[in-house]
Amino acid sequence: MRNITMLGTGLIGTFYTMTLHGYRARDQIKVACAVNDEQAREFAKNWDIPRWTSDIAEAVNDPETDTVVIGIPNYLHLQAALLAIQAGKNVLCTKPLGRNAAEALQMLEAAEKAGVFHGYLEDLVYTPKTLKALESVKRGALGNILWARSRETHPGPHSDWFWKKELSGGGAIVDMGCHCIEIARNFIGKDVRPVEVMCWADTQVHPIEAEDSAVGLVRYENGAIGQYEVSWTFRGGMDLRDEVSGTEGTIWLNHWLRTGFDMFTAVGQGGYVAEKAEGDTGWLFPVGDEVNSLGYVHMFQDMLDAIDEKRAPMETFYDGYIVNAIVDASYKSAQTKRWEPIELAVWRGSEGGARKIGPSEYDAEHWLIKEEKMPDGKTKLILKAKSSGEISQKFTE
């Protein structure tokens, strides 16, 4: 059982609290910290939390709590994490870890130096679908992963601070690209080094400085590609999908808009439909259990179990740092308009490109290009001679 300090009472703090206090949980939030006293008091009251404050240091140093959850705006992560580390508490920080890799590295190093538990609250790699898909990939169901696309787009964030670049550290890339980057990295393999990034980013619609849309390609050392697509201009709700291609298979995940729940209503229902839904009549696509579907439940389970079991969780500050480094390279690429190397001061995976990808052998003399069943029942083989390089085709019954 954990006693928790919750920093942040906005949308993310609400989702976190709903999760931590959900089901028949044995963990408890003992103090809530909001941007001002009024919000803190109301939040504490709603969620039956004994203490509240608007002072981050006071919340972090609450004598009863052993774990600090950071769910406040990006520009406060570093400061809050350092306070929690100083207090010797377990520290769990929402995404992105820092506004940039330098901040993230500072957090990682401080946590490791102090020897405190650190978890990176990257919920979307913990969705039940993603966890099961990752398990299938580990078992080899897809062969070697060649390409992973992760997409998060919606009509724009809820809070005004998101729209201010100096507070958020950026736009849609920092807000959502960090999710997509880490999802693709999990599928491709955390031991495979991300080498370089090509990124397009633009402010297509909104009167803001930060990008409201971006597409990035992250090339890994073994030739695999992680592709992220983020936007604050999407219409129709929240589009949250992953697609993974491997030499032996394919995975498609749809986390939000098409999950087996379709509703048409001519009259509406006078209330909330789903996060970032647009409209409340016509065809709607609610999500059954939102905090479960978004990965919050399995994320906190892993984090708190890991603390109990004195092991590292699936996502640590190290992972958060890698993500920030990829984000930094993305911003640079969007400026220079070319592929930019990913600078990693710390790299703990393999060198030289783990999990090679490449052609299959047909026999001693030939590579197999393709095998296909034809309409007439025959099998067509397309082969390449290793020595001459000649390409030929033949049919077998």
Q: Which of residues 16-35 bind a copy of itself (CB under 8 A)?
A: 22-27
Binds a copy of itself by CB under 8 A, chosen from 64, 282, 311, 347: 282
Binds a copy of itself by CB under 8 A, chosen from 206, 349, 354, 355: 206
Q: Does 355 bind a copy of itself (CB under 8 A)?
A: no
- Residues 158-197 touching a copy of itself, rule: CB under 8 A, are 158-160, 163-164
Which of 142, 143, 167, 148 shows the shortest CA–CA distance to 157?
167
Cα-based distances in Å from 381 to 342, 367, 369: 40, 10, 8
For 342, which DSSP code?
P
* Residue position matching structure tokens 């809820």: 158
- Residues 310-349 touching a copy of itself, rule: CB under 8 A, are 337-339
CB of 198 to a copy of itself, least distance (A): 6
Q: Does 127 bind a copy of itself (CB under 8 A)?
A: yes
Binds a copy of itself by CB under 8 A, chosen from 68, 107, 174, 217: 217
β-pairing, 67-70 with 90-94?
A: parallel
Q: Does 88 bind a copy of itself (CB under 8 A)?
A: no
Could you give the 3-state DSSP secondary structure of residue 29?
strand
Q: Does 377 bind a copy of itself (CB under 8 A)?
A: yes
CB of 203 to a copy of itself, least distance (A): 9
| CB of 155 or CB of 349, closer to a copy of itself | 155
Backbone φ and ψ of 208, nearest 5°: -130, 170
Instruction: Give the H or E element holding residue 230.
Output: strand 225-231
Backbone φ and ψ of 118, nearest 5°: -135, 130
Find out whether 41 and 66 touch, Cβ atoms under 8 Å: no
Q: Does 393 bind a copy of itself (CB under 8 A)?
A: yes
CB of 172 to a copy of itself, least distance (A): 12
Residue type, 59: A
Q: Does 3 bind a copy of itself (CB under 8 A)?
A: no
Lookup: tokens for 377: 């029942």
Q: Does 213 bind a copy of itself (CB under 8 A)?
A: yes
Q: Does 379 bind a copy of itself (CB under 8 A)?
A: no
CB of 329 to a copy of itself, least distance (A): 14
For 74, which DSSP code?
G
Which of 171, 271, 321 shows the shortest CA–CA distance to 231?
171
CB of 156 to a copy of itself, least distance (A): 4
